[in-house]
Amino acid sequence: MNVVLLGPPGAGKGTQAARIAGTFDLLHLSSGDILRAERKARTELGRKAQDYMDRGVLVPDDLILAMMMDHIARPEAAAGFLLDGFPRTLAQAEGLDQRLAARGARIEIVVNMVVDDAEVTRRLTGRWSCPTDGRIYHEMFSPPRKAGVCDDCGSALTRRKDDEPEVVGQRLKTYHAETKPLVAYYTSRGVLQSVDAGGSVEEVTASIERVCRRS
């Protein structure tokens, strides 16, 4: 089973992707995680992506498509994969379908996680992380015991540049302009299912599992 999770930044795609991939034994491929790893390693792709990511705009289609197909082609993806954060544009979706068709594969389920802009902003601007161990905190949902300090190692918490309020606003504009057309595209292909992503983590997981089992 090959699955795509759609939704705005902050919809909870990463959290749900890890859960759904585990339940259905799929390879979880997060474009954001892969890009950040490339950036940290200062690869050619990472250097090219740095400026785009920091401004909250999309990495060019040709770069992201080539990177994701490299991972999809790996043996561990043969039994099925779940794409988180990709595709984000119509060109990426069309390119993905063409490349998968050449391999005798296709996207079977697209789950559209629906959440409004106000909730997205609240979720993202309150998010902080530990630069030492990567633990994620949130001012409202999972605050550290001491404000601004990691519970585990005592490091000062930082906020990702793309979670700054002004960048979040740009990310949402980019989503509405570039990514929402994918809803129409995948609807026309008969593979799109929408779920309410405004509930608890467990409620959203249950909704997505029901969609996957019915498809």
Strand partners for 149: 156
152: helix, strand or coil: coil
Residue 204 CA, chain-centre distance (Å), reads 15
User: What's 137's DSSP letter?
Assistant: E
What is the residue whose two structure tokens read 């570039």?
178
Longest Cα–Cα distance of the chain, Å, equals: 53
80: helix, strand or coil: coil
Would you name the residues annotated as active-site residues?
Answer: 13, 88, 127, 160, 171
User: What's 77's DSSP letter?
Assistant: G
CA–CA dist 180, 132 (Å, integer):
35
Residue 116 CA, chain-centre distance (Å), reads 16
